[in-house]
Amino acid sequence: MKDLAPLMIAFAFLSGAQAQDVKSNLPYAEAPHERQVLDVYAPPDAKNLPVVFWIHGGGWQTGDKTSVQLKPQAFVDKGFVFVSTNYRLLPDVEMETIFRDIAKSMHWVHDHIAEYGGDPNRILVMGHSAGAQLAALICIDDRYLKAEGLSLGSIKGCVPVDGDTFDVPAIIETAETRRRVHQQPQAKFGHREKFGNDPAKHLDYSAVTHVAKDKGIPPFLILHVADHPDTSAQAQRLGAVLNDAGIPATLFGGKETTHTRINENLGQPDDPATIAVFQFVDAALKK
């Protein structure tokens, strides 16, 4: 496929947006799997800029780091380096392997992002859907970063977008009860199966399980679709647990939107969720 980076830069120039330096498919692991790669978008001559680390969604089964819509341009225009990572997927690997891939990708960012103009000590972790679960977990359960020799100290904020799995047992019970009372067949590869079909793992893979004071957990902005019962309930659950532990957590419910659109519209200047994100980021970076 033809390299689109020059066309993207030309379009950015013509549209008045800032040009981007784009580096694609950078491996973040030794002897990497084809999915263990990431992309870096940076302003030309970037130096010591805050970093957005983006985790795509897709039910832990599909999705790609290139499905970022307007987000790289929006953050580059605001003076950020934007990183979008891939990770290995179900059913080829276990769920915990995905968590380790995200931590390994962040390790690479910590070690190398200065070469691309980013500040490894000012990282904001964000993700949509399955990526929201991964973002929240990596920012709360510090075991995965510790295994990579890192801490939560470099993470200045977390923005999970419309996730439904911050409390895995709750979504399993909710979804299965809904199907049962409506006499519908249960999902063949639902949350129970994806998360290992072991109640202990369901708890362990829930971000809410690991919230505690004095761990260095960063502030959260939890975006969700206001009229989606599952993601709204999960957002409220995560926000309440964080606040109870003294960790700043703000909820933003997007109105007249959907699970897909709240993600795709991020980066549009008049998008309410985008405005909330940049307000949150500005405040988080001042602390």
Q: Residue 18: its pLDDT value, please?
A: 81
Dump pLDDT digits (tens) for 175-195: 999 999 999 999 999 999 999
Q: Residue 81: its pLDDT value, please?
A: 98
Distance CA 106, CA 18 (A): 26
Which amino acid is located at 40 in the chain? V
Q: Residue 16: its pLDDT value, please?
A: 53
Distance CA 53, CA 240 (A): 25
Domain 5-167+206-286: CATH architecture, name and number where available: 3-Layer(aba) Sandwich (3.40)
Mean pLDDT across the chain: 94
Largest CA distance in the chain: 59
15 confidence band (pLDDT: 50, 70, 90) = very low
* Domain edges within the chain: 5-167+206-286
Dump pLDDT digits (tens) for 45-72: 999 999 999 999 999 999 999 999 999 9
Dump pLDDT digits (tens) for 71-93: 999 999 999 999 999 999 999 99
Whole-angstrom CA distances from 61 to 87, 199, 222, 259 are 10, 21, 23, 17
270, pLDDT greater than 80: yes
Please give the share of the chain, as a percent, with pLDDT higher than 90: 93
Residue pair 111/81 in contact by the 8 Å Cβ criterion: no
142 confidence band (pLDDT: 50, 70, 90) = very high
Closest by Cα among 1, 104, 126 to 51:
126
Picking from 4-18, 129-143, 231-245, which range would have the lowest pLDDT averaged per residue? 4-18
Predicted TM-score of the model (pTM): 0.94
277, pLDDT greater than 60: yes
Q: Residue 201: its pLDDT value, please?
A: 97
Please give the residue that has the higher pLDDT: either 145 or 10: 145
39 confidence band (pLDDT: 50, 70, 90) = very high
- Say which residues have a Cβ less than 8 Å from residue 76's Cβ, sequence separation at least 6: 17, 18, 20, 41, 42, 43, 82
Q: Residue 14: its pLDDT value, please?
A: 37
143 confidence band (pLDDT: 50, 70, 90) = very high
DSSP 230-284: HHHHHHHHHHHHHHHTT--EEEEEESS--HHHHHHTTT-TT-HHHHHHHHHHHHH
Please give the share of the chain, as a percent, with pLDDT higher than 70: 94
C-alpha R_g of the chain: 18
- Say which residues have a Cβ less than 8 Å from residue 206's Cβ, sequence separation at least 6: 137, 165, 166, 167, 168, 169
Within a 10 A sphere around the Cβ of 10, how many other Cβ atoms?
A: 11
Question: What is the average per-residue pLDDT within 94-115?
Answer: 98
- Say which residues have a Cβ less than 8 Å from residue 96's Cβ, sequence separation at least 6: 205
- Say which residues have a Cβ less than 8 Å from residue 85's Cβ, sequence separation at least 6: 28, 37, 38, 39, 53, 54, 55, 56, 65, 102, 105
Dump pLDDT digits (tens) for 204-220: 999 999 999 999 999 99
Residues present in the chain in total:
287
Residue pair 62/134 in contact by the 8 Å Cβ criterion: no
Distance CA 152, CA 43 (A): 26
Q: Residue 63: its pLDDT value, please?
A: 98
Closest by Cα among 210, 233, 212, 213 to 222:
233
**Helix (H) or strand (E) run with residue 42 in it:** strand 37-42
